[in-house]
Amino acid sequence: MSRSSLIFKGIAILSLLTVLDILFFGVLMHRKNDVPVCSADDVYHSVVDYIQKNGKSNLEDSLPDICRKPSIDVKIKENLDAAIKNIIQECEKERRTPKVFITYPIVALFSTWASTNDTVKAEIHKNTLRNWASLKPKIQPILFTNDSKEVALANEYGWHTLPIIHEGSGAPVLKTMFKTVIEKYSGSVLYGYANSDILFTDDLVSTLEAVVTYYNDSTPVLVTGRRTNVPNITQEVADSFDNLRAAARDRGELFSTNAEDLFFTNKYFPWSGIIDVVVGRLAYDNWLIAHTRCKLKIDIVDTTDSLLAVHQTTTAGGNWEGFKHPKSKHNYALLQKLKIKVKFENGFTSCAQMASLRNFCGRTVIMKRDSWPADCACV
């Protein structure tokens, strides 16, 4: 459980964490400078043991000696028991709540890349082709390209392809791709774009199911999240969700809140009013989030806590060459031409009003955040 989840008002979750904190804090009070300190691990192990025994043990007995205070406040055990009961009740309530009916594919998910003779990049694209295809038929992957070789390759992996009909400085315009898939895939529930080097696991589906459950009317929404940079992704890693999770955990690095590599919306998002920013060049991501949140007043959902987005990190440039491309400033120039002023900090993932997380009942849910960094204040 990441500490960032503490910012949520998750009733059951927060109450258990609070109890753990009280317990943890309580035992730390016992610390003396020269004796071994009771670690957080010790406390968590003991609490897990207590929960696994279904409360039929003495909480105090399950703590190692170094963690034991002269006596645990009887209140702590009561609070812990109450928090656990609360979770059980919440899970029961959740189980009984009628589910929103979801049809599949839940998302028409597209990407685009420039064809390349670089063998490393070609391997990355193949990893992406296989990875996204493995989530069919829950999702439908689509590649925007005009290159017949890429079309053939994508089709071989079960992807659909569409031509690039709108460009700026040689890179595809984001809004036009969205409008095209919304029109062509009217049966899909959501529409998404992700960079060509992003790999997912099946938590993509559970996270999007949570989005659809929460936004179950015609309220527009924009979903994004942070990526996890993982170097040296081999085919063996790319082809297994478990391997991807392990690689991300062992050698991945959660990338900064100012880089957004994935966007999902429903069909109610007003794409027509979005300016012609292009993908693969700087600044379009932060502008889109800032504009949506501050000007359109539409919810942004940050999926970082429930959705693993593995970025296949290499030393070479990524999708459409990013900042290394000579036309990297295309989007800045467009904003300047349209006299649009942007405070890019308004478009960081940490500014999202909403976030997804997996709760104790094992379900991914959408929750309101109750605090943001000061820089998120809209200008």
Ligand X SMILES: *[C@@H]1O[C@H](CO)[C@@H](O)[C@H](O)[C@H]1NC(C)=O
Residues that bind ligand X (CB under 6 A): 98, 100, 115-117, 146, 163-165, 167, 213-214, 216, 231-232, 251
Question: In angstroms, how far is the first alpha carbon of the chain from the final one?
Answer: 33
Cβ closer to ligand X: 22 or 102?
102
The CB-of-323 to ligand X minimum distance in angstroms stands at 20
The CB-of-97 to ligand X minimum distance in angstroms stands at 6
d(CA 220, CA 272) in angstroms, rounded, equals 13
Cβ closer to ligand X: 115 or 353?
115
- 3-class DSSP string for 105-121: CCEEEEEECCCCCCHHH
Tokens matching residue 114: 């420039």
The CB-of-62 to ligand X minimum distance in angstroms stands at 37
The CB-of-346 to ligand X minimum distance in angstroms stands at 24
The CB-of-167 to ligand X minimum distance in angstroms stands at 5
- DSSP, collapsed to helix, strand or coil, labels residue 104 as coil
Cβ closer to ligand X: 63 or 233?
233
Report DSSP letters for 165-207, one per residue: --EETTEEBHHHHHHHHHHHTTT-SEEEEE-TTEEE-THHHHH
Cβ closer to ligand X: 19 or 355?
355
Cβ closer to ligand X: 150 or 345?
150
Torsional sign, CA 33, 36, 38, 41: positive
- DSSP, collapsed to helix, strand or coil, labels residue 356 as strand
- 3-class DSSP string for 292-332: HHHHCCCEEEECCCCCCEEEEECCCCCHHHHHHCCCCCHHH
The CB-of-100 to ligand X minimum distance in angstroms stands at 5
Q: Confirm if 80 and 112 have CB atoms less than 8 A apart.
A: no
Cβ closer to ligand X: 148 or 256?
148
